[in-house]
C-alpha cells in the first residue's frame, strides 16, 4: 500500500492541523502491514514529527540534497516535540532546506 499526501494540512489552523497529524499517526500505526506514505510539506516541524525519514530536494535541480532517518520511534510518543533529538533534527533539517533553496531577493 502507498499513500501520497501533498500538503494535506497546509490550509488548516494549528489546532486542527495538530489533531489531524495525531489521527494520521494513529491510523498508520494501527495498520498491518503499515503502508508507505509519501508526505510533501514545507513545514519542517511537521516533517520531523511525522517522518521516519526526511528528504530535502534541491530547489533548482530537483535532486536529493539531503536524505536522513529521523531519530526516535514512529509513531512518536506523547511529548516527543520537547525531546532534544526532535529540536536538533528540526534545526538540522531547516538548515539543509535553507541551503537547498536559491538566494531570494528581499
- The domain total for the chain is 1
pLDDT at 85: 87
Q: Are 40 and 5 in contact (CB under 8 A)?
A: yes
pLDDT at 13: 95
Q: Which residues contact 48 (CB under 8 A, 6 or more apart)?
A: 54, 70, 86, 89, 90, 93
Residue 65 resides in a domain:
yes
105 part of a folded domain: no
Res 106: pLDDT: 45
For residue 106, being part of any structural domain is answered with no
| Mean pLDDT, rounded, for 31-46 | 89
pLDDT at 80 over 50: yes
Which residue range(s) make up the domain with 72?
Answer: 2-100
Grid coordinates belonging to 95: 538548515
pLDDT > 80? residue 30: yes
Instruction: Supply the pLDDT for residue 57.
Output: 87
Q: What is the CATH number of the domain that holds 95?
A: 3.40.50.300
pLDDT value for 22: 86
Mean pLDDT of the residues in the chain: 87
Amino acid at each position: 500500500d502507498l499513500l501520497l499526501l501533498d500538503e494535506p494540512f497546509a490550509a488548516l489552523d494549528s489546532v486542527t492541523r495538530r489533531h489531524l497529524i495525531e489521527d494520521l499517526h494513529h491510523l498508520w500505526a494501527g495498520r498491518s502491514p503499515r503502508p508507505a506514505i509519501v508526505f510533501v510539506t514545507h513545514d519542517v516541524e511537521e516533517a520531523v514529527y511525522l517522518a521516519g525519514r526526511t528528504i530535502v530536494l534541491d530547489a533548482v535541480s530537483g535532486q536529493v540534497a539531503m536524505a536522513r532517518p529521523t531519530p526516535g520511534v514512529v509513531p512518536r510518543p506523547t511529548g516527543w516535540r520537547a525531546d532534544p533529538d526532535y529540536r536538533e533534527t528540526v534545526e538540522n533539517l531547516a538548515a539543509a532546506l535553507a541551503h537547498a533553496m536559491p538566494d531570494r531577493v528581499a
